Chains A and B, each alone.
Chain A
Amino acid sequence: MDEAVKRNAPSREFLEKIFRTAYKIRVFETEGIKLYRQGLIRGYFHPYLGQEGIATGVCAALREGDYIASTHRGHGHCIAWGADVKRMVAELLQKETGYCRGYGGSMHIADIGKGNLGANGIVGAGTPLGVGAALAAQIRGSDAVTVTFTTDGASNNGTFLESLNLAAIWNLNFILVIENNQYAVSTPIEEATRDTDLYKRGLSIGVESHQVDGNDPLAVYHLTREAVETCRAGKGPVLIEAKTFRHMGHHVNDPGKYMPEERLAFYKARDPIDRARAALVEMSGVDKADIDAIEAEIAAEFAEAVDFAKESREITAAEFRQFVAAY
């Protein structure tokens, strides 16, 4: 943990919030994979395991009224943004009580009213959409900040440059967070680009850009907080490249054999959950019993969400017909 973070002497309340968020994502993904394997979840499920530190740190620096836009690997962003786990599980189980009433699934969970513009099944699409939300905020005279979570893969897509450039010429309150997990499915980043330091791309078009250890939730938080301040001072946008690594394959059914064992071991040794837990213990004197209690509480919350989803009904054919009549 870096000295600056220690000096800032975060409160127990804050550290507990960070740990709770990161751990909640971990539980959601771990248990969600079990539901998938039981056949309760269909389609794609891209786990955020190993990357929890990024969503956790970023969202902790935002406030009500801000916006986020997410990726195909979006469960963590929703949870960190404060989504109701019940409605998330219900969506994965294609139930009427889900965020999208079962119309969207894992790759499309959104909560527009709360400023979550949604996960996205199209790699890279969240960047122009997020810049658009930032533009809408500017036109309305609001100081809301929009964060788009994007990926190393999406950094090679044309809209990455087009939309970040628009954010730059218009000085938008926009933060682009690249989750550089160093793989796009099975393609390592070294094969996808010549310079793997993705933050440099922002520099080339005059955007303040930084690189951070994405597995360190507090470092991510502090950097994002500065970026938010920069934006609210009218000096946005800001680019943050957060380096990280997946704990498993690209999606639930990808064994990920192509991921080198040493690199995986390196990142697992820097697990964001362990670090969030350690920070809470070391800096606020919380003891093991307290930690166990928090973990048990989160596990119970997830179990409740599963019950809620299982008991929920699906959209009826009549409701479906009525909804789509306008098309």
Chain B
Amino acid sequence: MREIMYREALREAIDEEMQRNSDVFIIGEGIAERGGSYKVTEGLLAKYGPRRVRDTPIAEAGMIGVGVGAAIAGARPIVEILYVDFAMLGMDMLVNQAAKFRLMTGGDGRVPFVMRTQGGAGGGVAAQHSQSLEALFYHIPGLKVVMPSAPADAKGLLKYALRQDDPVMFLEHKHLYMTKGPVPEGEHIVEFGKADIKRPGRDVTVIAWSNMVPRALEAAAALAEEGIEAEVVDPRTLVPLDTETILASVARTNRVVIVQEAVRRGGVASDIASIIQEEAFYELDAPIEIVAGLNIPIPFNLELEKASVPQKDDVIRAARRALHIQPMAIAAK
């Protein structure tokens, strides 16, 4: 299969869906002529024209709200927000409007709205441009939370997002845009709520999403050299969460490490851990390990930035702990 970049896969999804459905349109800062800060929307203006591909002023609350309103009226907007950090300006529209509308209207009102944005640390862009904020959206009933780690998933999930009827927080990662992977041409749909096993293994389940998936895969490769076979499970969508696949993996390995880039406190990892202990307590041979960001804003200094979010070695150490392997025993081996 041909390999393309994550950002190209996203573009392909938008392009195909705009082609397929004239109700799909996209607005955002610098997305039209310039093609977006991450080049996801390059070429769309030329192809679909200024009606359906529009630049906005710097007005995040307004543009998110306008997107939600358009969705309520039956169109299928994609609102691109440069950084998830800036989505905070539009929280009322996401939390109080988009998320609530279906229930408040007794089911008649639907909000087929997609907010595409990106988060994560590692760019040297400091505390206001580096957050992983999925837990905020995860907490709000009514929002779907999608965090693709691979180009093929990015395409399939975005295409699915543009065909379903609920508000979607489509959270990309700034480090993934240039990563390459095999992506099917044409129709390729990944439904929400279907986890993907990125690497099978019998010894320990490592649950990770977004940019933590490549990191978990690196850790798994290193662990394999020690004779430890880690199974890397990528939920792909946090809401809805594929607990079935997660629990089935836990039943096979009996040991769990959950890796999230976001700060530990109040995070999605803690919630997944609570679901596992509730549903599969007797399957567990060790306490669930959580590897997460420190409970701090992200610092600018490169070394401090690295120290603030999980690294490969943190995942390796957590897997060993889950397997009750002492660091000394490894050293002696």
Binding site for B on A (CB under 8 A): 67, 69, 98-104, 108, 110-113, 117-118, 120-122, 125, 127-133, 135-140, 158-159, 162-163, 165-166, 169-170, 323-324, 327
Contacts and interface: CB of A to CB of B under 8 A. Distances in A.
Interface SS majority for chain A: helix
Interface in B85-135: 92-93, 96-97, 101, 103-109
A138 B52 CA distance: 10
Size band of the interface chain B makes with A:
35 or more
B238 interface: no
A159 B65 contact: yes
Contacts of A111: 108
Contact of A118 (B22, B52, B105): B105
A164 to B, nearest CB: 9
Contact of B69 (A69, A98, A110, A138): A69
Given A125-B65, A132-B71, A170-B54, A112 B109 contact: yes
B68 A129 contact: yes
30 contacts: A101-B107, A102-B106, A104-B106, A110-B104, A112-B72, A112-B105, A113-B108, A120-B97, A122-B96, A125-B93, A125-B97, A128-B62, A128-B65, A128-B66, A128-B68, A128-B69, A128-B93, A130-B69, A132-B77, A133-B70, A135-B75, A136-B23, A136-B69, A136-B70, A136-B75, A139-B52, A162-B62, A163-B59, A166-B59, A327-B142
B62 A67 contact: no
B248 interface: no
B23 A117 contact: no
Interface of B: 22-23, 25, 51-52, 54, 56-57, 59, 61-75, 77, 92-93, 96-97, 101, 103-109, 141-142
Given A125-B96, A130-B69, A327-B103, 17 more contacts: A99-B106, A108-B105, A110-B108, A112-B105, A122-B96, A127-B65, A128-B93, A129-B69, A131-B62, A132-B66, A132-B68, A132-B72, A139-B23, A162-B59, A162-B61, A166-B62, A166-B66
Contact of A135 (B22, B69, B101, B108): B69
A282 B64 CA distance: 49
A129 B107 contact: no
A117 B106 contact: no
A137 B107 contact: no
Contacts of A139: 23, 25, 51-52, 70, 75
Contacts of A158: 61
A283 to B, nearest CB: 37
B274 to A, nearest CB: 18
Contacts of A127: 65
B103 A136 contact: no
Contacts of B62: 128, 131, 159, 162-163, 165-166
Nearest to A67: B73
A104 B108 CA distance: 11
Contacts of A165: 57, 59, 62
Contacts of B67: 132
Contacts of A130: 69
A138 to B, nearest CB: 7
A166 B73 contact: no
B58 to A, nearest CB: 9
A270 B64 CA distance: 40
